[in-house]
Amino acid sequence: MKILVEKNYEAISKTAGRIFIESIASKPDIVLGLATGSTPIGMYKEMIRAYEEEGLDFSKVKTFNLDEYVGLSQEHPSSYAYFMDNELFKYININKENTHVPDGKAENIEEYCKRYDEMINEAGGIDIQVLGIGENGHIAFNEPDEALSAGTSVVKLTENTIEVNSRFFDSLEEVPKTAITMGMGSILRARKIILLASGEKKAPVIKRLLNDNKVTTMFPVSFLLLHPDVTIIVDEEAYNG
């Protein structure tokens, strides 16, 4: 596990962006694992800049997102599909058919989850996966629990996650109570993982990850300790608290 401590969020975004930009340049048909939320937005801006200013080609790139709310259409302004379109996809020359965000409106959702993992495998597996981290150690929607799903599955969101995510909705009641998420096995199969964390609120969880040296389902991010190629990129606030 490698840790990079940068001065601030802007520096994190540039460092992470450069890793992705160089990876795409060296492997034009790369398979990217993408995340939503505020943390990767700066990195996506760097990727857009590289497309506009450096001619970075996304035409053969394939992407798979970590998660999506159950019940939301891709056109819903709070869906993760809508987020990805507006924060990245519509600004680059990516083939929309090569982008994959879990379908929250799938008819048979359990079968769809199995199919999502199959699609990742058929694409050759994820080359590089970006992750954020929750204050309780969750990654994607894999929340602390006695057991965690290995593959992509439907999960019930915790009250805390519903409350935190309510800022993206008009009211707390509108937040979906379930979501599709890649499981821990799906995430760990990525060849390279980049974990981003910014701000003093993330300092306790980063400190625990770096110091505990234990793996437990009650702290899902700890499973990254088992992965051979993880880079953690944090700013000074997240590192020092």
Given the residues 98, 100, 138, 165, the one annotated as active site: 138
Given the residues 57, 85, 136, 237, the one annotated as active site: 136
Given the residues 68, 143, 165, 235, the one annotated as active site: 143
To the query of whether residue 138 is one of the catalytic residues in this protein, the response is: yes
The closest alpha carbon to 31, from 62, 66, 65, belongs to: 62
Burial class (CB in 10 A: 0-12, 13-18, 19+), 71: middle
Backbone φ, ψ for residue 192 (5° rounding): -140, 140
Given the residues 6, 67, 103, 117, the one annotated as active site: 67
> What six digits make up the tokens of 208?
């625990």
Which residues are identified as catalytic? 67, 136, 138, 143
